[in-house]
Structure 1
Amino acid sequence: MTSPQTPPHGTPDTPLLTVRGEAELDVDPEIARITVTLTARGRDRRTTLDDLTRRNTVALDLIKSYGDTVENLSTGAMSITPELTRRGRGERVRTYQGTIRLTAELTDFTALGELTTRLADLDLTRIDGPWWDLRPHSPAHREARRQAVHEAVRRAKEYAEALGTTVAALVELADAGTGGGRPRSAFDRRAVRMSAVAAEAGTEAEPLDLEPQRMWVRAEVTAQFTMNPPRL
């Protein structure tokens, strides 16, 4: 013998109450992501490739020297592109341009400013970022979900109390999603200018002072409860 199922729309004897619970948290970012684009240019393809390889090695060694501060380091797209010029009736290769892109994620934001300044001092190097973010399994997401559930329960009890009754049981809890703003600030132009000035003056640039942008983490749930029949 099976137990009776709760009707999908409720009945006078088993009224249903559907509420939404929301939570928003303002938290510090956990990681900062930057991209480093290295460039080499030359008339000979092999020489251009060798220059690009050398600059890539220098940049990787510099980033890796920060140890555990760098949580993730990866190499992205790499290209060697001939640039053509017309001479007479045909096309000839005027020069070759090579690029390679690195992505680094750091957890120490003080070291981030120092590293980006040192990277910007490298020849033909562009820095983009930082992009502030939380880890996929950040405790902030869990806390937002927990608060959203508590908010749904609180609302349900308040509605039931307004009817002079109480919540009986939870029927369904649905996760409407957890999200977080991903603020982005760019310092690439400032870093490029700093690199040019430092190269001309022959002095070491001061580390960039980067202020992390706080993150908004949001969670939303929909909960359905049964109530004890109110006396209206």
Structure 2
Amino acid sequence: MSDTTAETTPAGPPAPYGTPSAPRVAVRGEARLQFDPELATIGIQVSARGRDRRTALDDLTRRNTAVLDLVKSYGDAVDKLSTGALSISPELGGGRGERVRAYHGNVRVNAVLTDFTALGELVTRLADLELTRVSGPWWSLRPDSPAHAEARREAVREAVRRAREYAGALGASLDALLELADLGAEAPAPAPAYAMPAPPTGVVRGFAGAQTEAAPALDLEPQRQTVFAQVNARFTMTPPEL
């Protein structure tokens, strides 16, 4: 009596295409949704000019402190406050020598606000300060905003709807999900996933001089933000009716 051993061939990876009994359908789901902004960023530049370095630096320090104190007075309406570039540079006079005519000082402050009602008043009050330049606002969403997750969910729902339409056109229905991936998950994405902040809506400047009656608060209309998401999906479907 002899023993017979049955040899089995290990199954290889699934083919990148379907079979007559289990056709594959590949689709891309996209979503482009709009949401109200959550953050407003303004840039504040404070300047000073003096005949000597000490005078310019003292004036710049005083004006910078006034800006920081004013922004901080808005409390919880301010999400983030940071100081950027600082510079003190000489201005040379005419002629061949290196005689310094004056010194110029500049400091950059960035403020991020979450209360847009306070934003218009703050911009106006900053513009009333001496030699203060205000730019912005730049409207944006928080990096962890639920808006991003909602756009991704909608992209997935769109992929399923599109795949069902293709299957339905053949008299078939979806059977199983084989793959779901962000666009560019396995290769560099050709474009950013989400909208970038909008460009500044304007610039307001304050100049040295006699103090006048406070200007009314600016009425700023927040700019809605567009969130974009894409996914690639692959399904199997039941045999079509051809």
Q: Under a length normalisation based on structure 1, what TM-score does the superposition of the two structures give? A: 0.91
Any residues of structure 2 matched to 1:1-232 within 5 Å, and which? 5-87=13-95, 89-176=96-183, 178-180=193-195, 182-188=197-203, 191-192=204-205, 195=206, 202-232=212-242
Amino acid at match of 2:69: D
The separation in 2 between residues aligned to 1:40 and 1:231, in whole angstroms, is: 79
Count of residues in Structure 1 that have an aligned counterpart in Structure 2: 226
Q: Give the residue type in structure 2 aligned to 1:225.
A: F
Q: Contact (CA 8 Å) 1:148, 1:221: kept in 2 or not?
A: yes
3-state SS, counterpart of residue 172 of structure 2: coil
Structure 1, unmatched stretches of 5+, are none
Whole-Å separation in 1 of the counterparts to 2:195 and 2:177: 28
- Could you list the structure 1 runs, at least 4 aligned residues long, displaced by more than 4 angstroms after superposition: 1-4, 198-201
In 1, Cα distance between equivalents of 2:168 and 2:79: 50
- 1:227 Cα shift? 1.5
Rounded Cα–Cα distance in structure 2 between residues aligned with 1:202 and 1:3: 84
Following superposition, the deviation at residue 221 of structure 1 comes to 1.2
Contact 1:6 1:14 survives alignment (8 Å): no
CA RMSD of aligned residues (A): 1.9
Deviation at 1:24, TM superposition (A): 1.5
Secondary structure of 1:209's aligned partner: coil
- Between the aligned partners of 2:143 and 2:38, the Cα distance in structure 1 is 10
> Could you say what secondary structure the match of 1:86 adopts?
coil
User: Considering only CA atoms, is the larger Rg found in Structure 1 or Structure 2?
Assistant: 2
Q: Given that residues 157 and 166 in structure 1 are in contact (C-alpha distance below 8 angstroms), is that contact kept between their aligned partners in structure 2? A: yes
- Displacement of 1:137 in angstroms is 1.2
1:48-107 deviations in whole A, cap 9, x for unaligned?
1111111111110110111111001111000001010134x4121110000000000001
Measure the CA separation in 2 of the matches of 1:74 and 1:150.
Answer: 40
Contact 1:14 1:227 (C-alpha < 8 Å) held by counterparts: yes
Letter in 2 for 1:218: F
Q: Is the deviation greater in 119-128 or in 47-56?
A: 47-56
**Structure 1 residues 213, 146: CA separation in 2 closer, same or farther (over 3 Å shift)?**
same
Post-superposition Cα deviations, 1:141-173, rounded to whole Å, max 9, x if no partner, equal 110110110110111112112211121211111
Bigger fraction of residues in strand? 1
Corresponding letter in the other structure for 1:211: E
Identity of aligned residues (%): 60
Long gaps (5+) in structure 2: 1-7, 184-191
Report the Cα distance in structure 2 between the residues aligned to 1:6 and 1:19, rounded to whole angstroms.
19
Tell me how far apart the structure 1 counterparts of residues 58 and 213 of structure 2 sit (CA, whole Å): 27
The residue identity in structure 2 corresponding to 1:108 is D
